[in-house]
Amino acid sequence: MYCWARYLLWLTIAVLGSGSMLSACGQKGDLYLPDKGETEQQEKKN
């Protein structure tokens, strides 16, 4: 049996979940791992 409300609920959950994950990208910093050489240079400066 087709229930449009159930599909609408799952679609809403999927859209809001995807949107919240994408909006959180990069909030705490860069999205890459720095090279080991860069981290060693920063440690020597500190």
Alpha helices, H only, 1-46: 4-23, 36-45
What is the DSSP secondary structure assignment for residue 26, as one 8-state letter? T
Q: Considering the entire predicted model, what is its pTM?
A: 0.50
Q: What is the mean pLDDT of the chain?
A: 77
Average of pLDDT values for 5-24? 91
Apex 28 CA angle, 24 and 32, nearest 5? 95
Categorize the per-residue pLDDT at 46 as very low, low, confident or very high, splitting at 50, 70 and 90: low
